[in-house]
């Protein structure tokens, strides 16, 4: 008989359910995680307030991919200690966009909070900040003291840089063998480009992703195009978070820490998904199709009298769509009789649809198509997106406190746990927790 997932789960002691005092002692670092002192969670055991409430993360990352990862861990209750340089800290503290007077609420200093820009706050909430000079013996010793009581170490330095300070994986597992150490770099720890720096747009181009975005070459203005949203950075942060959570489960079961090598180039290639797999299967590279689809038709952006609407139809939806637009003749047209035929005749079909949709207002077309169960959505600006009734209903913005006592509106974490909700705390001022944490961990 197969063991159910619930039976299997009952045998695993959540890493954050273990006694904090025992886990922070020197004996814990050397103990066998399978010893009788660690018991499976029982049905009567008190639920934890946050999933990661007893996990400590040492965060030596900057800008976006790494901070995005550690922010997610912080939202789930982990203690995030952000180690920053003494000369201004994370460079994103100076990146635009900057807060405006209208964005700040209450009586705090608001935009006078030093080093708190909209960019920085977007990926550094729920953290503490310690400013250290890692080139000094004192700074290195402080980090090692933190490592003694940390579960996770995340860094995005260039390959080999931290080894100069004795803060590489091989050095740190000598003082904490159960440490989970995650390195985030542009090209990974090995290979001919391992030492190269890199930013999101480089990986959009190098992975082939840009070659699939934009208008085809045959269309005026056709050329490879990036997406302004830094999806490689964000996905890398999410992969790092997932990998760390998996490593925590592995450590909980085996007592072993481990090293995670994560590269933005690898993530960007993995994100090509079925397009990348399609090339490996057929040897054919997917070209650019603008806003059209490659697996369904019609699929695209269609103009209305007051904007545009996205509509995508599977084969069943196609016939419903024809009925809704009162174009029975399209259903019998051999050019549109199958998905393959509609894809082959996509430009002709799109032109015919646009002649009809432009006669509707956005709201009218959305109601007509959406109420029939056909996937559709408006093309919004960012401002319009936050004004969407569904977005408002889902409470996708929240008020985040600032260190000064003011507050600002931010996008909330989309995770919705039924037992252990995410908690979004304030972003830190540069070095705000030096006195508290250095005294505690010295």
pLDDT, average across residues 82-99: 91
Examine residue 424 and state whether it is found in any structural domain, yes or no. yes
Token digits of residue 97: 């966009």
- The better pLDDT of the pair 16, 372 is held by 372
So what's the pLDDT on residue 49?
82
Q: How big is the chain, counted in residues? A: 442
Residue 378 pLDDT > 60: yes
Same domain, yes or no: 380 and 421: no
pLDDT in tens, 386-421: 999 999 999 999 999 888 778 889 999 999 999 999
Say how far residue 246 (Cα) sits from the centre of its chain.
16
Nearest-angstrom CA–CA distance, 153 and 258: 11
Name the active-site residue from 59, 113, 233, 441: 233
Q: Which of these ranges, 31-40, 105-114, 313-322, 415-424, has the smallest mean pLDDT?
A: 31-40
Inter-residue contact 93 to 47 (CB < 8 Å): no
pLDDT in tens, 159-176: 999 999 999 999 999 999
pLDDT, average across residues 350-369: 95
Inter-residue contact 227 to 204 (CB < 8 Å): yes
Same domain, yes or no: 368 and 228: no
pLDDT in tens, 203-238: 999 999 999 999 888 888 889 999 999 999 999 999
The sign of the dihedral angle between the CA atoms of 337, 343, 347, 351 is: positive
Same domain, yes or no: 185 and 145: yes
Q: Supply the pTM of this predicted model.
A: 0.84
Q: Which residues contact 357 (CB under 8 A, 6 or more apart)?
A: 302, 303, 304, 309, 311, 325, 365
Q: Which residues contact 142 (CB under 8 A, 6 or more apart)?
A: 130, 132, 438, 441, 442
So what's the pLDDT on residue 293?
83
So what's the pLDDT on residue 44?
41
Residue 361 pLDDT > 60: yes
Q: Apex CA 79: angle with CA 76 and CA 85, to 5°?
A: 125
For 416, how many CA atoms within 13 A lie in the half-sphere containing its CB? 4
Q: How many Cβ atoms from other residues are within 10 Å of residue 361's Cβ?
A: 13
Residue 340 pLDDT > 60: yes
SS3 state of residue 405: coil
Number of domains composing the chain: 2
Examine residue 289 and state whether it is found in any structural domain, yes or no. no
Same domain, yes or no: 167 and 64: yes
Residue 118 pLDDT > 70: yes
Share of the chain above pLDDT 70, in %: 85
pLDDT, average across residues 10-28: 34
| Peptide bond between residue 298 and the one before it cis (omega within 30 degrees of 0) | yes
Mean pLDDT over all residues of the chain?
Answer: 86
Share of the chain above pLDDT 90, in %: 73
pLDDT class of 7 with cuts at 50, 70, 90: very low
Same domain, yes or no: 113 and 166: yes
pLDDT, average across residues 334-350: 94
Nearest-angstrom CA–CA distance, 107 and 336: 62
Same domain, yes or no: 134 and 163: yes
pLDDT in tens, 124-159: 999 999 999 999 999 999 999 999 999 999 999 999
SS3 state of residue 262: strand
Same domain, yes or no: 83 and 194: yes
Instruction: Specify the residue for token string 């050019």.
Output: 335
Q: How many Cβ atoms from other residues are within 10 Å of residue 278's Cβ?
A: 15
Same domain, yes or no: 163 and 75: yes
Instruction: Give the domain-ending residue among 390, 413, 429.
Output: 390
Residue 262 pLDDT > 90: yes
pLDDT in tens, 29-65: 333 333 323 333 444 445 568 899 899 999 999 999 9
Examine residue 293 and state whether it is found in any structural domain, yes or no. no
Examine residue 282 and state whether it is found in any structural domain, yes or no. no
Token digits of residue 408: 């600002």
Token digits of residue 251: 């450590």
Nearest-angstrom CA–CA distance, 321 and 298: 10
CA-derived radius of gyration, the chain: 26
Told to judge if 233 belongs to the known catalytic residues of this protein, a careful annotator would answer yes
Examine residue 278 and state whether it is found in any structural domain, yes or no. no
Q: Which residues contact 335 (CB under 8 A, 6 or more apart)?
A: 341, 342, 344, 345, 348, 349
**332: CATH:** 3.30.1540.10
Q: Which of these ranges, 44-58, 293-307, 320-334, 371-385, has the smallest mean pLDDT?
A: 44-58
So what's the pLDDT on residue 58?
98
So what's the pLDDT on residue 289?
87
Same domain, yes or no: 90 and 227: yes
So what's the pLDDT on residue 45?
46
So what's the pLDDT on residue 109?
46
Nearest-angstrom CA–CA distance, 292 and 348: 12
Examine residue 291 and state whether it is found in any structural domain, yes or no. no
Same domain, yes or no: 384 and 418: no
What is the extent of the structural domain holding 360? 299-390
Examine residue 266 and state whether it is found in any structural domain, yes or no. yes
Examine residue 287 and state whether it is found in any structural domain, yes or no. no
pLDDT, average across residues 331-357: 94
Same domain, yes or no: 373 and 404: no
């Amino acid at each position: 008989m197969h063991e159910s997932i619930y039976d299997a789960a009952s045998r695993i002691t959540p890493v954050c359910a273990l006694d904090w005092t025992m886990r922070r002692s020197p004996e814990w670092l050397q103990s066998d995680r399978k010893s009788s002192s660690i018991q499976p969670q029982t049905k009567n055991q008190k639920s934890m307030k946050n999933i990661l409430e007893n996990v400590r993360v040492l965060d030596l990352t900057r800008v976006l991919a790494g901070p995005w990862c550690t922010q997610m861990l912080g939202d789930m209750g982990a203690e995030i200690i952000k180690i920053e340089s003494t000369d201004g800290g994370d460079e994103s503290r100076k990146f635009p966009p900057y807060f405006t007077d209208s964005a700040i609420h209450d009586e705090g200093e608001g935009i006078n909070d030093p080093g708190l820009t909209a960019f920085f706050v977007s990926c550094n909430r729920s953290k503490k900040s310690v400013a250290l000079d890692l080139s000094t013996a004192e700074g290195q010793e402080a980090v090692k003291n933190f490592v003694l009581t940390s579960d996770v170490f995340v860094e995005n330095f260039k390959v080999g840089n931290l080894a100069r300070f004795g803060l590489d994986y091989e050095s740190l597992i000598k003082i904490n063998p159960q440490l989970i150490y995650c390195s985030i770099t542009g090209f990974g720890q090995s290979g001919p480009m391992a030492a190269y720096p890199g930013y999101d747009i480089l990986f959009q181009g190098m992975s082939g992703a840009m070659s699939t975005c934009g208008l085809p070459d045959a269309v005026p203005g056709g050329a490879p195009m990036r997406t302004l949203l830094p999806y490689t950075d964000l996905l890398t942060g999410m992969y790092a978070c997932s990998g760390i959570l998996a490593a925590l489960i592995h450590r909980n079961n085996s007592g072993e820490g481990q090293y995670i090598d994560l590269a933005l180039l690898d993530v960007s290639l993995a994100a090509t998904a079925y397009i990348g797999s399609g090339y490996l299967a057929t040897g054919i590279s997917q070209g650019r199709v603008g806003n059209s689809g490659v697996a369904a038709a019609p699929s695209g952006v269609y103009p209305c009298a007051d904007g545009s609407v996205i509509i995508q139809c599977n084969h069943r939806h196609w016939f419903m769509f024809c009925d809704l637009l009162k174009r029975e003749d399209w259903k019998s047209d051999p050019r549109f009789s199958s998905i393959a035929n509609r894809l082959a005749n996509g430009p002709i079909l799109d032109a015919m649809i646009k002649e009809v949709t432009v006669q509707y207002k956005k709201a009218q077309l959305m109601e007509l198509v959406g109420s029939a169960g056909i996937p559709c959505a408006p093309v919004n600006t960012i401002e319009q997106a936050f004004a969407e009734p569904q977005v408002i209903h889902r409470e996708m913005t929240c008020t985040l406190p600032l260190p000064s006592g003011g507050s600002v509106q931010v996008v909330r974490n989309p995770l919705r746990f039924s037992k252990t909700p995410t908690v979004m705390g304030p972003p830190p001022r540069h070095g705000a927790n030096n006195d508290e944490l250095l005294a505690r961990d010295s």
